[in-house]
A and B are shown apart, each in its own frame.
Chain A
Amino acid sequence: MKLGASLIIGGALFALAIFVGLFAPWLAHTDPVMDANLINAEEPPSWTWWFGTDAQGRDIYSRVVHGARISLTVGIVSQLVNSVIGVTLGLTAGYWGGWWDDFVNGLTNLMLAIPSLIFALAIMAVLGPGLTSLLIALGLTNWSFTCRIARASTLSLKSQGYVQAARVLGYGDLRIMITQLLPNMLGPIIVIGTLGMGGAVLAEAALSFLGLGIRPPYPSWGSMLSEARDQITTAPWLSIFPGLAIFLTVLGLNLLGDGLRDILDPQSRSRRT
């Protein structure tokens, strides 16, 4: 079986990020928060300090490794929440139509009209900083694209012969949605989901950068970038490595999304076997 290059590269990058996140305590050289030593402050990358050290003398490598935990948790969990909300609303709106469809459409347009980062900022301002608030804020603000795609797919799938056939064969609404509609729209939903996951990683970075996400001294890639802002000319490694981590993770997720789309299309599946 031949897999696409984007799937392999994307999958490898994402798997690497997951691996690093899972085994952070074993991979890190030092404790990312406690091991501060001003004697080692702002060391450039070397054999001892792979990614260099920050102004407090903490190992950047260890902080990037631990930061993967937070960034990935936020990316995966918030996008899952988004997908569930988006698919549920879009699927039911497209299937039932009527006033429910109008309501969901209005809500989606409202969400699209407000920049999601501003909306997330507002939620964070109310809930206060922290991981849970981050998950809630990002999980509730990015479902509109998923919802639109789910609704559009439902509308086009609804008139397909097999959906009609399922109705004739006595399937209930819920069963039609789960067995006939959902699997047939999964391809685009997964692609949007992985893209959204990358977006959530970026949004977490942005919120933490603005000081509303993860609070120092705990390391998240965004908060590390935020702290590194002042030293970007004197100690560029402070921003390069967390930035690189964000870049590679988001790139991996986007490539993975593309590769998965090819795999999930049953017609291309048979070409390979």
Chain B
Amino acid sequence: MTGPPLIEVEDLRIDLTVGPSRVAAVEGISFRIDRGETFGLVGESGSGKSITALALIGLLRQPLSIGAGAIRFEGREIQGLPAAEQRTLRGNRIAMIFQEPMTALNPVSPVGRQIAEMFVLHKGKNWREANRLAVEALASVRVPAPERRVNDYPHQLSGGMRQRVMIAIALACGPDLLIADEPTTALDVTVQAEIIELMRNLCAERGTAILMISHDLGLVANVCRRVAVMYAGRIVEERGSADIFRACAHPYTQGLVDSLPRLGSRAALGRTRLREIAGVVPAITNFPEGCRFNPRCARATDICRTTAPETTLLGAGGLVRCHHHA
């Protein structure tokens, strides 16, 4: 791929201000996403994946703020852009869909109008033209009878339909990057598969890159070409998604992989217990010294308790942050 990457995050630190003190909720985050690429960010609740996404679209609000590092969109620093220019980026070039399709739509406005608003806002269309495009957008996310559905209010639609509407809104202006923050967590498993398939196909057709954020390693590996695993505010491993199940390097990733039930395995058949990672994610204000995973890690030695590991490059563009990586 030539030219600058679509989005590039370099050594990002996000500070959380608690009273007079500041703690780094996320630090040392670096990754890049090229045009049309699919990239996944996996981690437990509180590992910092969602605030990383908010930082990408320049919407961190107090008590969170960017402490250090850079986020560049097409080579331009997002933080330095004036507010109006940042706004034209959001929704137009970078769009986002959320975990809760139940609450992410305005309850007093018909869904068609909410889609049409994007065309009016970012493409300068008049309402008539925008409404026509809204019907097309709704048809493109495979909502049956779109010309009638545009007049429906969000509460008249099912969860899956609402998430389709959200995708239609997000993709309305043909963005270059779609950030999907746990897009299917609130949905049934069967609907989940449909929505993921739809999102993947639409983005592939239009060359839209996806940054998918989830706690579900299997799902992310299925959708994305590359996966980064976050733990306690740091990326601990980044790999091609094919490699991550075959030969993950970080003990935390290994733990995640082991905790997934495999079809036909003894655990999935209920003969043995699924393996878990002992302990809990440390609180942001109370990260352990050295490697943040050391209290839960089976491989931990003295160096892990004193010195934070640097990133080590692996083959095929992978990297890991561990003293004792596999």
Instruction: Using CB atoms and an 8 Å cutoff, list the residues of chain A in contact with chain B.
Output: 160-162, 164-172, 175, 179-180, 183-184, 186, 266-267, 269-270
Chain B nearest Cβ from A248, distance in angstroms = 32
Q: How far is the CA of A164 from the CA of B200 in the complex (A)?
A: 24
CA distance A166 to B170 in the complex (A): 11
A266 x B59 contact (CB < 8 A):
no
Q: Complex formed: what's the CA distance from A7 to B166 in Å?
A: 36
Chain B residue with Cβ nearest A183: B108
Whether B91 and A168, one on each chain, are in contact in the complex, defined by CB atoms closer than 8 angstroms, is yes
How far is B102's CA from A161's CA once the two chains are assembled, in angstroms? 8
Q: A165-B98, A266-B155, A270-B153 are in contact. Are A170 and B106 (CB under 8 A)?
A: no
A162 → chain B, closest Cβ, in Å?
Answer: 4
- Per the bound structure, the CA–CA distance linking A16 and B90 in Å amounts to 51
Known: A171-B87, A171-B121. 16 other contacts (CB 8 A): A160-B103, A161-B105, A162-B107, A165-B98, A165-B104, A166-B106, A168-B95, A168-B96, A169-B91, A169-B121, A170-B87, A170-B89, A170-B122, A179-B109, A183-B106, A184-B106
Instruction: Determine if B106 and A180 form an interchain contact, defined as CB atoms under 8 angstroms apart.
Output: yes
A168: B residues at CB distance < 8 A: 57, 59, 90-91, 95-96
Interface status of B241 (Cβ within 8 A of chain A): no
Contact indicator A170/B156 (Cβ below 8 Å)? no
B100 at the interface (CB under 8 A from A): yes
Most buried by B among A175, A179, A184: A179
Q: Known: A267-B155, A270-B155. Contact between A169 and B118, CB under 8 A?
A: yes
In chain B between 148 and 197, which residues have their CB closer than 8 angstroms to a CB of chain A?
153, 155-156, 166, 169-170
- Is the CB of B117 closer than 8 A to any CB of chain A? yes
The listed residue (A169, A183, A267) touching B95 by CB distance below 8 A is A169
B108-129: CB near A (< 8 Å → 1, else 0) gives: 1100000001100110000000
Interchain nearest-CB distance for B294 vs A (Å): 36
Closest to A270 in B: B156
Mostly helix, strand, loop or mixed at chain A's interface?
Answer: helix
**B52 proximity list for chain A (CB < 8 A):** none
Shortest distance between the CB of B137 and any CB in chain A (Å) = 13
Residues of chain A within 8 A of B105, CB atoms compared:
161-162, 165
- Complex Cα distance, B138 from A17, in Å, reads 46
Give 6 CB contacts A-B under 8 Å.
A160-B103, A166-B106, A168-B57, A169-B121, A170-B92, A183-B108
Cα A184 to Cα B117 with chains together (Å): 17
The reply to whether A266 and B122 form a contact with Cβ atoms under 8 Å apart is no
Output the residue of A160, A166, A184, A267 with the most chain B CB within 10 A: A166
Does the CB pair A167–B59 fall under 8 Å? yes
Closest 9 CB pairs of A and B: A170-B91, A161-B103, A169-B91, A170-B90, A161-B104, A162-B106, A165-B104, A183-B108, A168-B96
Which chain A residues lie closer than 8 Å to B107 at the CB level?
Answer: 162, 184, 266
| Cβ contacts under 8 Å, A269 to chain B | 153
B88 adjacent to chain A (CB < 8 Å): yes
**Alpha-carbon separation in the docked complex, A98 to B157 (Å):** 38
Q: B91 contacts which chain A residues (CB < 8 A)?
A: 168-171
The residue that B121 contacts in the complex, of A164, A175, A184, with Cβ under 8 A, is: A175
A111 vs B88: C-alpha distance in the bound complex, in angstroms?
Answer: 40
With A266-B155, A270-B153 already in contact, the answer to whether A169 and B106 are too (CB < 8 A) is: no
- Asked, given contacts A267-B155, A270-B155, whether A179 binds B96 with beta carbons under 8 Å apart, the answer is no
A186 and B90 alpha carbons, distance in the complex (Å): 28
Q: Which of B57, B102, B121, B153 contacts A266 (CB 8 A)?
A: B153
Q: How far is A255 from B169 in the complex, measured between Cα atoms in Å? A: 39
Give the contacting residue for A161; candidates B98, B109, B153; CB below 8 A: B98
Interface hub of B107, B108, B121 (most chain A Cβ within 10 A): B108
Residues A184 and B108 in contact in the complex (CB < 8 Å), given A161-B103, A169-B118, A170-B89: yes
Residues in B with CB closer than 8 Å to A167 are: 59, 90
Q: Most chain-B CB neighbours within 10 Å: which of A161, A162, A179, A183? A: A162
CA distance A164 to B90 in the complex (A): 12
Give B38-79 interface residues, CB cut-off 8 Å to A: 57, 59
Determine the distance from Cα of A254 to Cα of B212 in the docked complex, in whole angstroms: 51
Complex interface residues of chain B between 236 and 271 (CB less than 8 A to chain A): none
Residues of A within 8 A of B87 (CB): 170-172
- B104 → chain A, closest Cβ, in Å? 4
Q: A112–B185 Cα gap in the complex (Å)? A: 47
Residues of A within 8 A of B92 (CB): 170
Q: How far is the CB of B152 from chain A (nearest CB, A)?
A: 9
The complex places the Cα of A170 from the Cα of B87 at a distance, in Å, of 5
Query: Which residue of chain A has the shortest Cβ distance to B83 in the bound complex?
Result: A172
> Distance in Å from the Cβ of A158 to the closest Cβ of chain B?
11
- Neighbouring B residues of A270 by C-beta, 8 Å: 153, 155-156
A169, A175, A179, A267: the one contacting B90 at CB < 8 Å is: A169
Report the bound CA distance from A171 to B103 in whole Å: 17
Q: Is B109's CB under 8 angstroms from A183's CB?
A: yes
